[in-house]
Amino acid sequence: MAIQLQGNAGVVADVDGATFRALRTVPKPIDHGSLGHYRLATTVALVATQAANGTLFSFRWGDVTRLCVIQKLRLAVLQTAAATATLSERYQAFIARGFTVSDSVGTAITLTGNNMKKRTSHATTLVTDIRKSAVAAGLTVGTRTLDAEPIVELGHVHTITNVNSAVSEKQLDTDAGDGVHPIILAQNEGVIVRGPTTVFGAAGTADLMVELAWAEVAAY
């Protein structure tokens, strides 16, 4: 007995080819309803004498009822000036819980209007605060608790030579289409990028690039 599959719009599913009769499917983005999908790329300039384990990037989700689905998080470091001594440092991304007061100082990312939308018709983002460090000490920490272990860790070697050629990068695997569960942020949760784990010397600078993509949904 044959079985027919019928979609929400009343269209019967079809199969492709005469040998395997594979079901025809069309992958779609996460259903955002009246909300939307967003993407951000920003650079944090790391100065000489950059403090160890300072907060370099902060993303806080404070919406009461909606959820933030993190689809991509990529970190990359480019050395921009020679160090006085070779350094081996790490940059770490953490989930922040109980994030009731945003981090402060630094440079705030503009959240209004069409900024970061993947489509103009999407709603303006509901993110509470996004900001990046602008000084050696990093951002001023708000009220939050970081998980004990990071979700992404990027290692980098800061050299006394080969300036602008020492590049390192790491990306969080969040491909929900392959069955991997993405990171879901509920009210007063967020993502923090911290580093370097070793203080920079009197010379030597670098750029930390942060890429973040997310969807805002009513339920997941």
Domain ranges of the chain: 33-217
pLDDT at 15: 83
Question: In whole numbers, what is the pLDDT of the chain averaged over residues?
Answer: 90
List, for residues 143-181, the tens digit of each pLDDT value: 999 999 999 999 988 888 767 666 788 888 665 556 788
Tell me how far apart the alpha carbons of residues 91 and 59 are, in angstroms, rounded to a whole number.
Answer: 16
pLDDT at 164: 67
Instruction: Taking residues 88-94, report their average pLDDT.
Output: 94
- What DSSP character marks residue 114? T
On the 0-12 / 13-18 / 19+ scale of CB atoms within 10 A, 8 is exposed
Tell me how far apart the alpha carbons of residues 142 and 53 are, in angstroms, rounded to a whole number.
Answer: 15
